Amino acid sequence: MTENKEQTEETLFRDLGLNPEIQQAIDEIGFEKPSPIQAEAIPELLNGHDVIGQAQTGTGKTAAFGLPMLQYLDPGNDEVQAVVLTPTRELCIQVTQALRSYAEHLDIEIVAVFGGAPIRSQQAQLRSGAHVVVATVGRMKDLISRRSLVLTAARFVVLDEADEMLDLGFLEDVEKILRMCPSGRQTALFSATMPPPIKRLADTFMYDPVVISITPKTLTVDAIEQAFVEVSGREKVEKLVKVVKAEDPEQAILFCRTKIGASRLEKDLKNRGLDVKALHGDLSQGVRDGVMLAFKNHRCKLLVATDIAARGLDVDHVTHVINYDIPNSSETYVHRIGRTGRAGRTGRAITFVTPDQRRDLEQIKADVKASISEWETPEDRIEHARPPRRKRRGQEAAPLDEQPTVAVEKVGEFDEVVEVPLASDPDQQQESVPEVADGEVKLFVNRGARSGITEEDLRWALREGAVLSEDQVADVRVLDRFSFVEVDGDIAERTVEFLDGTRLKGSGIRVEIARN
């Protein structure tokens, strides 16, 4: 792999070798100069190189691959010449909109295909001609298997937000899709982080890629005042209301770990009269679009969101990020709080921890090398701000690639995240993912103690609902919000089939094979 050169500060878009039509669109959109990732990636991609681009959210990665991709396309050729794979519907739509604006003066058709929307209209759009297909992984697979989409002419392939695809368990499908693309293709991979499986994917599927890694000079966390609030689980909502009132944010994102938690919090806050909307994977496409638009247009102050639903989304002017649930890794922490403090503004990030999560907070502090002090009301802060804040000096946040990647076990179809113990040595973290006994398959159940589910209930469901004998069930573990069961591999799928979508103790349960 070739390392990237020092970036030059003075690069202008017109130095990059883009067509006049593309340049005109850029001028009209109002981009003055390329962002660092654009300045580096665009010439390499125009030269036909494979590129791995690592840069944080909000650094302009879409144009970094989008502009050279558009330049590469031949409007006279009706085949699908380029595909962009995205992890979520939101990103798929967002990327499509961005690409269409860049293609304003080109005769290029860009079609978005994603789940949660009628497949027929997407098939019709593909039939009437698409030069570029922007897709979520699942829907693309589906369309390929229905022969509505052929990739034999897709010589430009982009994996956008690759780490997110990994987190969602899509990597295998991504590989399948890559295998269907011509081997002489050009591949670009963009990601905020580069966990080992992504590197391996790049090694296997990319040809001598140029690696461009942009480490922010001031990593977002530097411009962000960070605090924590320690509170018991039961008092969390009340405390949150108090914090929100005291902070009086212009706009805030409140992060929850699960979609169930997010929708519950939305209700709780609405009941207390707050102006809040939620964004998570259980909402319909239309609702999510509406929520995003409302938040972007400042028609709503507070957005409750899960990591997956919010990440990669482009929202400015967020004054506060509140981690209502502590993030599952230091990387997620950086991503979350990076939603504020943008464009030179200062932002505030407040993390809620229950007493038993103090250890996790300490780990985050150590990883991001930030001072995260106990939250005080804004008035108290002003009082205390008088003496010089020495501790803030010289605190340099670690570049992203130096931050330990934390092993996170991703389960569930969309954004249920389960924590695994943090090991401080990144190499050991792979090992620290809980092992499953040979021949056993771990299933994820989206309910736990909080829904009144006990181990006995689950064993009952396995016995009565899935007709399993005692010795086919290796382990049942009930956590607060979810549970895991380990069953013999050969009956795992049947168990899912029998139990998924049924009710247990009055709650609808979802059962899935947990992915690593």
- Asked if 140 and 151 touch (Cβ cutoff 8 Å), the reply is no
Please state, in angstroms and as integers, the Cα–Cα distance from residue 380 to each residue in 140, 200, 228, 237, 246, following that order: 53, 49, 15, 22, 11
Question: Does the footprint of ligand ADP cover residue 314 (CB under 6 A)?
Answer: yes
**Token pair belonging to 430:** 């792979």
Give the one residue of 11, 36, 38, 418 binding ligand ADP; rule: CB under 6 A. Answer: 38
Report d(CA 403, CA 95) in Å as an integer.
28
Give the one residue of 11, 36, 50, 61 binding ligand ADP; rule: CB under 6 A. Answer: 61
- Asked if 443 and 514 touch (Cβ cutoff 8 Å), the reply is yes
Give the one residue of 11, 35, 220, 258 binding ligand ADP; rule: CB under 6 A. Answer: 35
Q: Which stretch binds Mg ion (CB under 5 A): 59-67, 119-127, 321-329, 479-487?
A: 59-67
Question: Does the footprint of ligand ADP cover residue 87 (CB under 6 A)?
Answer: no
Q: Which stretch binds ligand ADP (CB under 6 A): 59-67, 208-216, 225-233, 406-414?
A: 59-67
Q: Which stretch binds ligand ADP (CB under 6 A): 34-42, 133-141, 171-179, 264-272?
A: 34-42
Q: C-beta of 311: minimal distance to ligand ADP in Å?
A: 9
Closest residue by beta carbon to Mg ion? 61
Question: Angle at Cα 248 formed by Cα 242 and Cα 249, nearest 5°?
Answer: 120
Report phi then psi at 340, rounded to 5. -115, 175
Burial class (CB in 10 A: 0-12, 13-18, 19+), 230: middle
Q: How far is CA 392 from the centre of its chain?
A: 29
Question: Does the footprint of ligand ADP cover residue 31 (CB under 6 A)?
Answer: yes
Report d(CA 509, CA 500) in Å as an integer.
6
Please state, in angstroms and as integers, the Cα–Cα distance from residue 97 to each residue in 86, 160, 262, 292, following that order: 13, 15, 27, 14
Question: Does the footprint of ligand ADP cover residue 62 (CB under 6 A)?
Answer: yes
Q: Which stretch binds ligand ADP (CB under 6 A): 56-64, 287-295, 421-429, 439-447?
A: 56-64
Q: Which stretch binds ligand ADP (CB under 6 A): 51-59, 115-123, 232-240, 419-427?
A: 51-59
Q: C-beta of 30: minimal distance to ligand ADP in Å?
A: 7
Report d(CA 453, CA 478) in Å as an integer.
8
Please state, in angstroms and as integers, the Cα–Cα distance from residue 151 to each residue in 48, 156, 159, 230, 277, following that order: 19, 10, 15, 52, 39
The entry of ligand ADP, Mg ion, none near residue 88 (CB within 5 to 8 angstroms by kind) is: none
Question: Does the footprint of ligand ADP cover residue 58 (CB under 6 A)?
Answer: yes
Please state, in angstroms and as integers, the Cα–Cα distance from residue 429 to each residue in 195, 221, 408, following that order: 12, 24, 9
Q: Which stretch binds ligand ADP (CB under 6 A): 50-58, 164-172, 223-231, 507-515?
A: 50-58
Beta strand 276-279 pairing with 110-113: unpaired
In the bound state with Mg ion, the residue whose beta carbon lies nearer, of 82 and 407, is: 82
Question: Does the footprint of ligand ADP cover residue 141 (CB under 6 A)?
Answer: no
Q: Where are the beta strands (DSSP E) in 214-346?
A: 224-230, 252-256, 276-279, 302-306, 320-323
Closest by Cα among 196, 198, 191, 195 to 213: 191
Question: Does the footprint of ligand ADP cover residue 309 (CB under 6 A)?
Answer: no
Question: Does the footprint of ligand ADP cover residue 63 (CB under 6 A)?
Answer: yes
Report d(CA 201, CA 171) in Å as an integer.
8
Residues within window 261-280 making contact with ligand ADP, judged by CB under 6 A? none
Question: Does the footprint of Mg ion cover residue 311 (CB under 5 A)?
Answer: no
Q: C-beta of 62: minimal distance to Mg ion in Å?
A: 5
- Asked if 195 and 167 touch (Cβ cutoff 8 Å), the reply is no
Question: Does the footprint of ligand ADP cover residue 59 (CB under 6 A)?
Answer: yes
Q: C-beta of 488: minimal distance to ligand ADP in Å?
A: 43
Residues within window 312-331 making contact with Mg ion, judged by CB under 5 A? 312
Closest by Cα among 284, 276, 271 to 256: 276
Number of neighbours of residue 85 by Cβ within 10 angstroms: 26
Q: Which stretch binds Mg ion (CB under 5 A): 58-66, 328-336, 434-442, 450-458?
A: 58-66
- For residue 320, the cross-strand partners are 252, 348
In the bound state with Mg ion, the residue whose beta carbon lies nearer, of 134 and 418, is: 134
**Token pair belonging to 229:** 């609030």
Residues within window 198-217 making contact with ligand ADP, judged by CB under 6 A? none
Question: Does the footprint of ligand ADP cover residue 34 (CB under 6 A)?
Answer: yes
**Token pair belonging to 418:** 């389960």
Question: Does the footprint of Mg ion cover residue 89 (CB under 5 A)?
Answer: no
Question: Does the footprint of Mg ion cover residue 61 (CB under 5 A)?
Answer: yes
In the bound state with Mg ion, the residue whose beta carbon lies nearer, of 61 and 510, is: 61
Q: Which stretch binds ligand ADP (CB under 6 A): 52-60, 172-180, 293-301, 466-474?
A: 52-60
* Helix/strand/coil for 258: coil
- Could you list the residues that contact Mg ion (CB under 5 A)? 61, 312
Summarize as ranges the residues that interact with ligand ADP (CB under 6 A).
31, 34-35, 38, 55, 57-63, 312, 314
